[in-house]
Amino acid sequence: MDRKTFYITTPIYYPSDKLHIGHGYTTVAADAVARFRRMQGCDVMFLTGTDEHGQKIEDKAKAAGVGPQEYVDKIVAGIKELWKLMNISYDRFIRTTDDYHEASVQKIFKTLYDNGAIYKGEYKGLYCKPCESFWTESQLKDGKCPDCGGEVYEASEEAYFFRLSDYAERLLKLYEDEPDFLQPATRLNEMKAFINQGLEDLCVSRTSFTWGVPVDFDPGHIVYVWVDALSNYITALGYGNGKYDDFEKYWPADVHLMAKEIVRFHSVIWPALLMALELPTPKKVFGHGWLLLDSGKMSKSKGNVVDPVILCERYGVDAIRYYLMREIPFGHDGVFSNEGLIARINSDLANDLGNLLSRSVAMIDRYFGGTLPEKQEAAEIDGELAAMCDSLLGLVSENIDKLMLPNALAEIMKVVSRANKYIDETEPWKLAKDEASKPRLAAVLYNLCEALRVVSILLEPFMPSTSPKIREQIGAPAGLSGLESCRFGLASKALIVKKGEVLFPRINAEEELKELEKHGEAESAPALEHEAEISYEDFMKTELRVCRVLACEKVEKADKLLKFTLFDGERERTVLSGIAQWYSPGELIGKKVALVCNLAPAKIRGIVSEGMILSSDVGEAARLIIIDDSVPEGSRIR
């Protein structure tokens, strides 16, 4: 009988620079799920890789004085080394510069063109000649190119477009028929709102740069990122090429795992492309939250990234994997900090898990010379620990099925905590003083080792190097290391322990934080930029008031602009804001925002904007300042 297949993917990462701990977060999560599915007996395909084309890579390579291929080769080698260091068990690594992928992309593009899903048109926008880049008006900085600061002018470029607008109803039906397709639920609501405000056709070729897959039937055109990058999930299985022959076996994917900022591409554009190719859509797209620093989302451009290599070298790979999966509520944003990392290692791994192992092995060594006797005496108090161990597999499986990875680890650590409490309750050091109590003492120590054995099995997807070390020290046989062995009491009573290294030495937090600062790994971003001081009188010239959002809609042909109708306590006013990529119009109606009311009106895209809505930078995103609903419209903000 064929084993059940399971296909999980990470995004393919953009190799413009070395990866940071945020990329590790996604990849460790996918790895943990893949490892657990293998333990369940599934035939797993775990795919990761790199998205290597585009103008940004072309520009970076030019600045480095090398060709694009040479530039990405060096960075990709570093990425593979990082995944090796972090014990990532991927089955296949795809590069969009692989010959077989490029050949498949050309076939896919031609198929879409032949069936009418792609048509030739014109891409219009504001063009910066030195950067060879198109920009929308909202992307400009002081009316000039945001990259080089140069002048821009109206220009157009011949391009092919994908008829994305044709797929709105089919996408909404997909969401309705397959409620688990997009998770968490907040992402689903965002995408429904995005589709309902109107889909525009998508530019899928460019002529302003050359580093990409050529459109073989129209020289000069390069396949743009959407068709090129997203297709990797099927080309890596052999779709459209002879490199592999796994498409029928593994497609559709069980899980596309990614950070939330690219959910739109994977839950709107990607399924629409698959529909156009008459292929099944993925079973699940899961967009987890951001790994944030105090300053916001980690960003190479902001210079606030955390180097996973340094952390792994100092604390061990499994400690970092555990922290990433345990600390952050999966699906929501979470804050990474060096203090939090050290605290989690000290509490969960050193004090709880490591100490449980060390104490258990040490007591067997001290009281029984390392070998437990078969004569053991059970007691009623043993039942709770045994029951928790027997129920653990079900709880962990349920949480991993739902991609609630921190919850799975929390259930495991409950057993660890209960085992430590069991030591305090049974007081083995007192039992050891009375020879008549030795059978009872042996039972207590056996129970601790059995709890550790079950825990080690279920920790293995998350901590693949640590788990075998635990079983080695408690003398668990190799045949009792699979999921089918997650039952209490299977090991021989006469187990033989082998004292080993301390798995997680306790860390001196104060000293270690100083060391991390020397390595440039402080958890906050570089010093904030400050404007020149102003007087109180100058500040009071800015009229800030609370306004209610009466209506909100996208501005036609302006990807980042939203048009607001606000009530400021006296009248309605129209305001434009460049936040469309982070908010859907529907979710903002009824909210109260802060507005600079006395800003001189400005005409943007032919619309007069009467003020500026306040927002804050969160990494590379912008978040509106939302005012409590109890504050009346028109209230002055001071």
Q: What's 15-75 look like in SS3?
A: CCCCCCHHHHHHHHHHHHHHHHHHHCCCEEEEEEEECCCCHHHHHHHHHHCCCHHHHHHHH
**Is pLDDT at 559 greater than 80 in this prediction?**
no
Three-state DSSP at 86 gives: coil
- Percentage of the chain beyond pLDDT 90 is 63
3-state SS record for 566-593: EECCCCEEEEEECCCCCCCHHHCCCCEE
β-strands 43-50, 5-13 pairing: parallel
Q: Is 169 exposed, middle or buried (0-12, 13-18, 19+ CB in 10 A)?
A: exposed
Query: In this structure, how many other beta carbons lie within 10 angstroms of the beta carbon of residue 511?
Result: 9
What mean pLDDT comes out for the span 40-59? 93
Q: Which amino acid belongs to residue 15?
A: P
Query: Buried b vs exposed e over 442-454: b needs ≥16 C-beta within 10 Å?
Result: bbbbbbbbbbbbb
3-class DSSP state of 447: helix
Residue 525 above 60 pLDDT?
Answer: no
Write down the pTM of the prediction.
0.78
How many other C-beta atoms lie within 10 A of the C-beta of residue 148? Answer: 13
- What H or E segment, with its residue span, contains residue 455? helix 438-459
Asked if 52 and 99 touch (Cβ cutoff 8 Å), the reply is no
pLDDT of 30 strictly over 50:
yes
CA distance linking residue 31 with residue 508, whole number of Å: 30
State the pLDDT confidence band at 133, using cuts at 50, 70 and 90.
low
Q: Residue 182 and residue 175: Cα distance in Å, rounded?
A: 7
* C-beta neighbour count of 348 within 10 angstroms: 23
CA-CA-CA-CA torsion for 549, 550, 556, 560, nearest 10 degrees?
A: 10
Say how far apart CA 629 and CA 589 lie, in whole Å.
12
Letter for the amino acid at 320? Answer: I
Tokens matching residue 455: 């825990």
Structure tokens at 398: 């349920």
Average pLDDT for residues 113-125, to the nearest whole number? 92
Q: What mean pLDDT do residues 47-72 have?
A: 92
Q: What is the dihedral of CA 456, 462, 464, 468, to 10 degrees?
A: -10
pLDDT of 493:
95
Report the pLDDT averaged over residues 447-453. 98
The most confident of the ranges 32-36, 510-514, 553-557, 626-630 is 32-36
The confidence score (pLDDT) of residue 447 equals 98
Q: How confident is the model at residue 353 (pLDDT cuts 50, 70, 90)?
A: very high
Residue 519: what pLDDT? 65
What does the block give as tokens for 594? 């802060």
DSSP per residue over 118-179, as a string? Answer: EEEEEEEEEEETTTTEEE-GGG-BTTB-TTT----EEEEEEEEEE-GGGGHHHHHHHHHH-T
Question: 564: helix, coil or strand?
Answer: strand
Q: What token pair was written down for 430?
A: 């007192």
Q: Are strands 182-183 and 572-577 parallel, antiparallel or unpaired?
A: unpaired
Assign 256 to helix, strand or coil: strand
Task: Kindly list the distances between the CA atom of residue 483 and the CA atoms of 82, 393, 397, in Å, as whole numbers in the listed order.
Answer: 29, 7, 10
pLDDT digits (tens, 9 = 90+) for 216-238: 999 999 998 889 999 999 999 99
* Dist. CA 469–CA 483, nearest whole Å: 17
Share of the chain above pLDDT 70, in %: 93
For residues 156, 162, 167, 172, the Cα torsion angle rounded to the nearest 10 degrees is -80
- Under 8 Å between Cβ of 593 and 549: yes
Query: Among residues 617, 567, 620, 623, which one has the least CA distance to residue 595?
Result: 567
Do 595 and 575 meet the contact criterion of CB atoms below 8 Å apart?
Answer: yes
324: three-class secondary structure by DSSP: helix
The predicted structure's pLDDT at residue 619: 55
Structure tokens at 30: 């996918």
How many Cα atoms occupy the beta-carbon half-sphere of 136 within 13 Å? 17
pLDDT confidence of residue 1: 45
Torsion angle in degrees (nearest 10) through CA of 579, 152, 129, 59: -30
Backbone angles phi, psi at 508, to 5 degrees: -80, 105
- Give the Cα separation of 244 and 279 in Å (integer): 18
Asked if 86 and 27 touch (Cβ cutoff 8 Å), the reply is: yes
**Within 10 A of 334 (CB to CB), how many other CB atoms are there?**
18
